[in-house]
Amino acid sequence: MLDWPVIVQSLPDFAAGLQVCLTLLVISVGTGFVLSIPLAVARVSSRAWLARPVWLFTYVIRGTPLLVQLFIVYYGFAQFPALRDSVWWPLLREAWFCAWLAFALNTTAYTTEIFAGALRATPSGEVEAARAYGLGGFKLYSRLLLPSALRRALPQYSNEVIGMLHATAIASTVTLVDVTRVARDVYANHLLPAEAFGTAAVIYFTLTFSLVGAFKLLEKRFLRHLHTERRPGAGPSPLTPAPTPNPARSV
């Protein structure tokens, strides 16, 4: 039997941990989204001096676990005297800033590849039609390529956001009191693993499926033009969006 009084007693602490989790998720994903749009444009550029540095950045970040990146930022930067004597040190010694920086860089790399794949999947006919209307350069990207790519990338981007939600569970390794840290404290104080980690699991489960539902609504709103009525037994619609890369996340 579960010890319900312990669970109820711990709910305020879990609520505070949930606030930390959501705050870290929002600021990290928001930063990653903003940075990944210009990086994705550079990633698909035919100019090597633009595309290659972005490729290297995404290659390195996606090739190393997020936990290692977090430790490098939080523990590794402190060993360099130049950083300790710089104006950045008051920020780099703060757990919140280090967690945000590591999470933001990580999600920027993954989101950049997702958006770049969606840009590459743009039908050539749309580009030719836009050029026929005189669109080019910035107007071509701002009015056609990016809006179209961001809509097509929604299913893959939702996976990235959910992956980042789960990744926030490691924020406790740099002293942030998130949901996982609260669960560990409850377990340490009461030696009740089911109550401690079960409550954390329910919280993450609820958040995950809330995000899934929210993205399903966004997909229904922004991708409805890609779905047409089909007769029973008909094959796949030719308007079904082409798949875009969804790189596997390593935490």
**More confident of the two residues 39 and 82:** 39
Sign of CA dihedral 54, 57, 60, 62: negative
Is the pLDDT assigned to residue 69 strictly greater than 80? yes
| Average pLDDT of every residue of the chain | 87
Give pLDDT, residue 144: 76
> 188-198 as b/e, with b when 16 or more CB fall inside 10 Å?
eeeebeebbee
**More confident of the two residues 128 and 16:** 16
Q: What percentage of the chain exceeds 90 in pLDDT? A: 60
| Inter-helix orientation angle 4-43/95-120, to 10° | 50
Q: Can you tell me the distance from the alpha carbon of 170 to that of 182, in angstroms, rounded to the nearest whole number?
A: 12
**Residue 209 and residue 109 in contact, taking contact as beta carbons nearer than 8 Å:** no
Residues in the chain: 251
Is the pLDDT assigned to residue 45 strictly greater than 60? yes
Is the pLDDT assigned to residue 145 strictly greater than 90? no
pLDDT single digits (tens) 82-141: 888 888 888 988 999 999 999 999 999 999 999 999 988 887 777 777 777 666 667 777
Average pLDDT over residues 1-5: 84
- pTM value is 0.86
| Inter-helix orientation angle 48-62/4-43, to 10° | 160
Confidence class for position 146, pLDDT limits 50, 70, 90 = confident
**More confident of the two residues 168 and 147:** 168
Is the pLDDT assigned to residue 156 strictly greater than 70? yes
Give pLDDT, residue 1: 78
**Residue 8 and residue 16 in contact, taking contact as beta carbons nearer than 8 Å:** no
Quick one: 238 exposed, middle or buried, by C-beta within 10 A (0-12, 13-18, 19+)? exposed
DSSP letters along 33-88, please? Answer: HHHHHHHHHHHT-S-HHHHHHHHHHHHHHHTS-HHHHHHIIIIIGGG-HHHHTSTT
Phi-psi region of 233 (alpha: psi -120 to 50; beta: other; left: phi over 0): left
Question: Where is average pLDDT lowest: 11-20, 131-140, 185-194, 214-223?
Answer: 131-140
Q: What percentage of the chain exceeds 70 in pLDDT? A: 87
**More confident of the two residues 19 and 133:** 19
Confidence class for position 147, pLDDT limits 50, 70, 90 = confident
pLDDT single digits (tens) 197-228: 999 999 999 999 999 999 999 988 887 766 65
